[in-house]
Structure 1
Amino acid sequence: MSTVDVTTWYLEQTSPEDAGPLVPAPDGVRVVHAEIVSPELSRFLYTAVGQDVTWTDRLGWDHARWTKELAGTQTWVAYERGTPAGYAELAAREDGSVEIVHFGLLPAFRGRRIGAHLLSYATARAWDLAGPEGRVWLHTCSKDGRHARANYERRGFRLHRTEVEQEEAVPTPGPWPGA
């Protein structure tokens, strides 16, 4: 199988002021905390958001692994008129930082300012967890959506590390066979 170079960018905020003001929600959009850990919901969101950007690292997890990995995380789901549009998964780390582990929108909801609102909302929730002396961070890579990094930077995230690795080229799984 062939390989591809994948660039990963690590971005951070080191002060709540870095986040700037909350981006208003587009009409019909609301963000809800999924307070009950649900591997089924998280797997749905992961596969629906990552279907066209090669999110594959969690696809082989069984229910027990999903449950274990989600322990201690917060999942925030954006809905447009009752339909899941995207999500953010937050995890407090032992070093006092909070990672935005996963963030994204289902393809049909991209390009409509929902991501700007969801990211600013999720970043504010991450700062609630981190506290004023904390740090909020995330990573994105060259396999993610073409506007991902720019959205993060517009919300006040700054580049602090870059890595380039060769990975096996994996076909995009898509939402279902033949899609």
Structure 2
Amino acid sequence: MLSEGFHDVPAGAAAAIVTSLEMFERPAPRPEVENPGWTLRRMPSPTIEEYRALYTAVGRDWLWFMRLRMPDAELAALLADPVVEVYRLEAPGGELGILELDFLEPDTCELAFFGVTKGLVGGGAARWMMNRAIELAWSRPIKRFWVHTCTFDHPNAPQFYMRSGFKPFRREVEIIEDPRLAGLAPLDSAPHIPVIRPA
């Protein structure tokens, strides 16, 4: 447990506050854009290259890194697992979204990754995709649906999840090697998180 007060983060690292949220029953759907022209398509057993291209397109500005540093064999096995479902949101103009549902834990679904590219932010695509995520998760015999977000993500993410029916239950501090300095992300990605290089 961290004591109250400030704690140094090493140069070359980045730190985030992680909030986990959960729901135990399917909520009523939130209002959404009608006939938006978006398509949500499942990607059964996507290749590593297909998956990482989508993951990077959506997560570049939010410093998503977990799937980029995961060994290829481990990621390939995860993507081939029938209890992991990856969906691609396609929108006019080439904008994209990713929805990844993980049913690995019994009676549980984790919203492992969820997001849209910059051109779709604020236009209703995330709400539309969240309504589909809730439908898909609760179409299985689960008892709990959960997600975590962090201060690397869009600042409205916690409120968005809470409006969707999730309730916060845990807060953690995560310290990681900065993916930009590790060569996993461009140096100009996630400009809201300054890079601090080691001396």
Query: Fold conserved (TM > 0.5)?
Result: yes
Q: CA deviation at 1:73?
A: 0.7
- Asked whether 1:8 is paired with 2:18, we answer yes
Structure 2 unaligned regions, length at least 5: 1-10, 190-199
Query: What is the identity percentage for the equivalent residue pairs of Structure 1 and Structure 2?
Result: 26
Structure 2 residue identity aligned to 1:54: L
- Asked whether 1:156 is paired with 2:168, we answer no
Q: CA deviation at 1:157?
A: 0.9
Q: Within 2, Cα distance between the matches of 1:19 and 1:45?
A: 29
- Asked whether 1:30 is paired with 2:19, we answer no
Q: Within 2, Cα distance between the matches of 1:105 and 1:21?
A: 18
- RMSD (CA atoms): 2.6
Structure 1 residue identity aligned to 2:121: R
What corresponds to 1:40 in structure 2? Answer: 49
More displaced 10-residue stretch of structure 1: 139-148 or 29-38: 29-38
TM-aligned CA distance change 1:170 to 1:176, over 3 Å: closer
TM-aligned CA distance change 1:92 to 1:140, over 3 Å: same
Q: Within 2, Cα distance between the matches of 1:55 and 1:9?
A: 15
Structure 1 unaligned regions, length at least 5: none
TM-aligned CA distance change 1:102 to 1:19, over 3 Å: farther
Q: CA deviation at 1:146?
A: 1.6
TM-aligned CA distance change 1:75 to 1:175, over 3 Å: farther
SS in 1 for 2:67: coil
The structure whose Rg is larger is 2
Tell whether the 8 Å contact from 2:30 to 2:127 is kept in structure 1 after alignment: no
More displaced 10-residue stretch of structure 1: 117-126 or 73-82: 73-82
- Asked whether 1:134 is paired with 2:146, we answer no
What corresponds to 2:76 in structure 1? Answer: 67
Q: Within 1, Cα distance between the matches of 2:89 and 2:174?
A: 32
Aligned length: 174
Q: CA deviation at 1:64?
A: 2.3
Structure 1 residue identity aligned to 2:185: P
What corresponds to 1:109 in structure 2? Answer: 120
Structure 1 residue identity aligned to 2:157: A
Q: CA deviation at 1:21?
A: 4.5
Structure 1 residue identity aligned to 2:164: R
Q: Within 2, Cα distance between the matches of 1:74 and 1:29?
A: 19
TM-aligned CA distance change 1:38 to 1:128, over 3 Å: farther
Summarize deviations over 1:17-54 as a string: whole Å, max 9, x none. x2535634552112122234332221111111111111
TM-aligned CA distance change 1:65 to 1:93, over 3 Å: closer
More strand by share: 1
Of 125, 135, 153 in structure 2, the residue corresponding to residue 124 of structure 1 is: 135
